[in-house]
Chains A and B, each alone.
Chain A
């Protein structure tokens, strides 16, 4: 079946550096993808909607200049955390709507980011 992958599955970076997380739809096209963030033992919070060929739509309170989203193709969206700080350490999950379904989504396995 269709799968959404994320790369890397985990990453450790130093404070002040940038890190890129990839979200790929493996055998289907996704004009829209969603990025969520989950802090330990907390819920998923929607960060932004990634739109193929256009600018991402960010949720209120999410800094678009800090969390850069690029959806350059129908199968790939990237989230770049710029100038990362320890408070950005979190679990980042992407999802893509299932083709032919009005509601179902495929979630990626998540990327655990630790900023030291």
Chain B
């Protein structure tokens, strides 16, 4: 069974600072994908970044980077140069078994303050 763990409490981040959101996962499948989604108060799910289990390099997408440590089964999201619009819930998710079914973590609330 897949399991995603996000245990950090809500976070306040100073604008322009970097923030790291922790995510650990557990799966017995050797092929899996790790995702980060942003959910603002409107409720829409916004795809941020993806890391495949066989990818050799850490994924990056603009201000988002994923610190993938396979041996530790962690996939932390780093948001650089935080902006006020980054205030949202952030969900780590995983798919495995070659399908697109996603298992989500509990989420991290991030509030960026000026």
Contacts and interface: CB of A to CB of B under 8 A. Distances in A.
Q: Report, as a range, how many residues of chain A touch the other chain.
A: 20 to 34
Contacts of B13: none
A105 B103 contact: no
Contacts of B52: 103
A46 B103 contact: yes
Interface string B79-98: 00000000000010001000
Contacts of B103: 46
Contacts of B43: 91, 93, 109-110, 112
Nearest to B4: A43
Which interface residue of B42, B91, B104 has the most chain A CB atoms within 10 A?
Answer: B104
Given A103-B50, A103-B52, A46 B101 contact: yes
A97 B101 CA distance: 10
Nearest to B46: A107
Interface residues of B, number: 21
Contacts of A97: 100
Contact of B47 (A32, A49, A93, A105): A105
B109 to A, nearest CB: 9
B100 A105 contact: yes
A105 B102 contact: yes
